Structure 1
Amino acid sequence: MNLGETTQRYPKSSRLITPTQYRRVFTDAQRVFVHPFSVVLRSNDGDGPRLGLAISRKCARQAVARNRIKRLIRESFRQNQARLGSFDLVFMCRPGAAELRNAQLRGALEKLWLRLSK
């Protein structure tokens, strides 16, 4: 391992990939809201936290804006996954999220991680 390298990774095992995994989360799940994000979560089988993204065109019309939001969510998840329990999380956002600056989105994500870690 190089000096600048960290152990925080975002491996495939930390992602929700298949439609079956997403369906499982949406059935019998809890919802947490922190503007502009809505998170659907459900405990998993102790595999650690896993992330799924469902950022729609209602949230951000342009693909560039949707990809920016997804990139920020993934980076924040990667940095905070050690604080979380074994949950499957699916992130969605509300219309107008694309107009927010990166710092505002990061602040909302930090509030969300605090709520979820309790």
Structure 2
Amino acid sequence: MAEEVFSFPPQLRLRKPAEYKKVFAKPVKSSDQYFTLLAIRNDFDHPRLGLAIAKKNIRKAVQRNVIKRTVRENFRIKQHGLGNIDIVVLARREAVDAPLDLLRKSLEKHWLKLVSRCDSYS
């Protein structure tokens, strides 16, 4: 059996505006007080992650970077259970003041919810 690799190479990222546009067009949503996640099925055999952390919601670059690092790290660990979906993560203002372990738990709930919704959706 192949060993699972927990890296975050470029093929696991949404990079082009067209890729983001496709997710924003007709997504499956999952929201709470910290994040909104949008997802659709993709044609690859792995999940891809995109981040849209608005400067309007989270003013300081340091805070935006901490949130982005947390999301990437959580995705990196959970990627093998996500299947073939494209996910865009949007952060809300409340995410700035939340402890990191609470953000991680929130993301884990979102991953599970999106996988089950995308399975039933397509």
Q: TM-score normalized by structure 1?
A: 0.89
The equivalent residue for 2:10 is 12
Q: Which has the higher helix share?
A: 2
> Which residue matches 1:115?
113
The one-letter amino acid of 1:17's match is: R
Alpha-carbon deviation of 1:110? 1.6
2:46 aligns with 48
Structure 1 ranges of 4+ moved more than 3 A? none
Distance 1:110 1:27 in 2: 24
Deviation at 1:100, TM superposition (A): 0.7
The aligned residue for residue 27 of structure 2 is: 29
Equivalent residue letter for 1:88: D
The count of corresponding residues between Structure 1 and Structure 2 is 113
Compute the displacement of 1:30 (Å): 1.5
Cα offset for 1:35? Answer: 2.6
Q: Which residue in the other structure is 1:76 paired with?
A: 74
1:114 maps to amino acid: L
Task: Report if aligned partners of 1:34, 1:111 keep a CA contact under 8 Å in 2.
Answer: no
Gaps of 5+ in 1: 1-5
SS at match of 1:89: strand
Quote the RMSD (CA, aligned, Å).
Answer: 1.3
> What displacement does 1:104 show?
1.2
The percent of aligned pairs where both chains have the same amino acid is 41
How far does the alpha carbon of each residue in 1:16-65 deviate from its partner, in whole angstroms, 9 at most, with x for none? 00111111111121211133110111111133100000001233110000
1:62 alignment counterpart: 60
Q: Which runs of 5+ in 2 are unaligned?
A: 117-122
Q: Equivalent residue of 2:96, what SS?
A: helix
